Structure 1
Amino acid sequence: MAKMWQFISKKFLQQSDKDQSGNVGFAEFLTYVREHEKNLCLQFSHLDKNRDGKVDLEELISAFKDLGLDVDIDEARKLLGRMDKDGSLNISFNEWRDFMLLAPSTDIHDLIKFWRHSTAGVQSWLISVMLLGRKYSMNKDVYLDIGEDMNVPDDFTQKEMQTGLWWRHLVAGGIAGAVSRTCTAPLDRVKVFLQVQTCRMGISECMKILLKEGGFRSMWRGNGINVLKIAPETALKFAAYEQMKRLIRGSDTTRQMTIAERFYAGAAAGGISQTIIYPMEVLKTRLALRKTGQYAGIGDAAVKIFKHEGARSFYRGYVPNMLGILPYAGIDLAVYETLKRRYIASHDNNEQPSFLVLLACGSTSSALGQLCSYPLALVRTRLQAQSAETISGQIRKTQIPMKSSDAHSGEETMVGLFRKIVRQEGLTGLYRGITPNFLKVLPAVSISYVVYEYSSRALGIKMS
């Protein structure tokens, strides 16, 4: 038995000691915990037959038989009792993870062998190491979609890449983003409408104008292209992010990236994806501001804009859009990681942030990221709307005339438009429309998270 645990200890060091220094540093242990926890999530699904998030005695016996292992009811009860810490007569994923986290194997048969031969002494050793390590362990980030996809992409483990789970995560994220954006589309359209105003206007007044001009269905103008661009943007960003990670890591492909390196890779990936899909961003703004009957659809809008304004019009506002990626992605990532780490540091060693805590961290970081990058987003929207015939030109000449207003006449530059807004509207003019933008953050992240959870389960991704 002693030889068995010596072998396990040696194997644990081999898997976690990436620099072969003879000991496991914090960064190496953190990398091991992250990757092995995801693998344990996959293996737990072999036992959880009804996918309810827990394994009872009958499921345990059935799973053993499916794996070709003999187990009687007495041994099954003993195995369940070793892992069942709360006396619920079943095993949750958290109990499974805590028990198996230092079992250095990715094979379900090896994990079960480890389970069968565990003793009280071994468990004491495991718990002592676990309490030391879990203080620094991180949960997988909550998927959030607030309609502005400038955040740093998630990292996928080698196991997820090999098993194909990565594309399931991307599909689940795409579904969540589509539902979230559709549900919050009216607030997004109000935001865009207010961003191009040169005079102060309230949300209720804006809603009355939009509803009077186009009716209730008009509140979803521009949402179609906003949803359609999720797929190419996600795919391009994922591919670019993976390539940037390879360039940053160099020959050491297993090295854990720092927050700064993740930011650089994510910002570069966002810049590449935004450059390619940016014409769709311009179309989204034009469709959101269009008059009733102005365009028959997305294709008709693209043809008319190209015919009357040329190809360059599809890249109006490109520079402030690119500059906005840096503060948004950097602040979003830094604030999220800081809040999460402070929560872990201020609580007991064995307490990890709940999903509600992670949701709050994500909402806060996204809101702060938007706050700092919002002036650039507003200037981008005004540049995109140049030469556009819009709604309020019909209703109130003081708001948005039929063509270019004083605030965006001719071929305005980013710097020139910044100066004109500050001079004519004051600093508050750079934050027009930010209220509906903030109002949509909480419902957007809540909806995207819930839909992501259900979509993940439907796609066979086991969530902890």
Structure 2
Amino acid sequence: SRTAVAPLERMKILLQVQNPHSIKYNGTIQGLKYIWRTEGLRGLFKGNGTNCARIVPNSAVKFFSYEQASSGILWLYRQQTGNEDAQLSPLLRLGAGACAGIIAMSATYPMDMVRGRITVQMQTEKSPYQYRGMFHALGSVYREEGFRALYRGWLPSVIGVVPYVGLNFAVYESLKDWLLQTNPYDLGKDNELHVVTRLGCGAVAGTIGQTVAYPLDVIRRRMQMVGWNNAASIVTGEGKEALQYNGMIDAFRKTVRYEGVGALYKGLVPNSVKVVPSIAIAFVTYEFVQKVLGVEMRISD
């Protein structure tokens, strides 16, 4: 699913960090055509390898962290209430999920940071490729900018987890309850929604959650580019200096001052467009691999 929507993901990042003094991409369609014309097919998938490589450790840490956080929160909840048979409420599960998301994101953040730079870098006569791949990028950033550089933009990423996960959960549950009560177009049966309907609810919830937390994602990407001396013209602009940010608040302030509030939503269109196909492809692939491996567990489990 990541690979299928990789061109939209790259387009989103390029729009997020694009310098207003050197506009190359005026929109999603024009931007994709420009990449195809200037960089070819491979250009559409730049940074996707690092993005896919990040999935395994991120998922492993996330599941392990969720189990540990759930156990710890449940123990504290039982101690506080004095009820040894108490179970986690939806709100407490939300808290455990947020903890797991933050821990997993933090553990793999350097991979996300260099993925952003690999995605953005462009080869020109004056600016050859600086990073040859994920490991080369990690080593280069560490040697040239220090360990802390690998975590630039970490704070807005952590803060963004709260509204994203919270809204995701709240919208999904509310939408699901409304559909079960009204049951329009016979979308449910026996007080349970069809799988496709639940996927649709997830897509809507994900889109709303991402939209609200999106400005934090823009700031994260921009902070990741700070200190990159050999950044291509997409970041600095021809003959222009890239803006330097002293922190998250400073990045917000300068972005709004020089580009307006709308700059906080650059790249939102390709980001929203990729939600539905990404979820659909993930589901179809899951079902196919499930049959190949002979796994009995269903999505609803």
User: TM-score with structure 1 length normalisation?
Assistant: 0.57
Deviations 1:36-92, CA, capped at 9 Å, x for gaps: xxxxxxxxxxxxxxxxxxxxxxxxxxxxxxxxxxxxxxxxxxxxxxxxxxxxxxxxx
TM superposition shift of 1:294: 2.7
> Does 1:276 pair with 2:110?
no
> Does 1:370 pair with 2:207?
no
CA distance in 2, matches of 1:441, 1:203: 15
Deviations 1:138-163, CA, capped at 9 Å, x for gaps: xxxxxxxxxxxxxxxxxxxxxxxxxx
Corresponding residue SS for 1:386? coil
Matches within 5 A, 1:73-84: none
Verify the 8 A CA contact 1:387 1:403 in the aligned structure 2: no
Matches within 5 A, 1:57-456: 180-199=1-20, 201-250=26-75, 255-292=86-123, 293-347=129-183, 350-388=190-228, 389-393=230-234, 400-401=236-237, 405-406=241-242, 408-409=243-244, 411-456=245-290
Deviations 1:92-116, CA, capped at 9 Å, x for gaps: xxxxxxxxxxxxxxxxxxxxxxxxx
The worse-fitting range, judged by mean Cα deviation, of 351-360 and 326-335 is 351-360
CA distance in 1, matches of 2:196, 2:88: 26
Deviations 1:198-230, CA, capped at 9 Å, x for gaps: 436222332244234422111111111111111
Root-mean-square deviation over aligned CA pairs: 2.2
- Between the aligned residues of both structures, percent identity stands at 35
Which is bigger in relative contact order (C-alpha 8 A, separation at least 6)?
A: 2
Q: Write the letter of the residue equivalent to 2:17.
A: V
CA distance in 2, matches of 1:349, 1:226: 38
CA distance in 2, matches of 1:255, 1:344: 27
The worse-fitting range, judged by mean Cα deviation, of 424-433 and 374-383 is 424-433
Cα–Cα, structure 1 residues 325 and 306, in superposed 2: closer, same or farther, change >3 Å?
A: same
Cα–Cα, structure 1 residues 207 and 391, in superposed 2: closer, same or farther, change >3 Å?
A: farther
- Listed as ranges, the gaps of 5+ residues in structure 1 are 1-179, 394-398
Corresponding residue SS for 2:114? helix
Verify the 8 A CA contact 2:111 2:138 in the aligned structure 1: no
The structure whose Rg is larger is: 1
Corresponding residue SS for 1:294? coil
Cα–Cα, structure 1 residues 417 and 461, in superposed 2: closer, same or farther, change >3 Å?
A: same
**Number of positions where the alignment pairs a residue of Structure 1 with one of Structure 2:** 278
- Listed as ranges, the gaps of 5+ residues in structure 2 are 124-128
CA distance in 1, matches of 2:261, 2:167: 21
Corresponding residue SS for 1:183? coil
Q: Write the letter of the residue equivalent to 2:13.
A: V
Partner in structure 1 of residue 126 of structure 2: none
TM superposition shift of 1:253: 7.4
TM superposition shift of 1:428: 0.8
Q: Write the letter of the residue equivalent to 1:334.
A: A
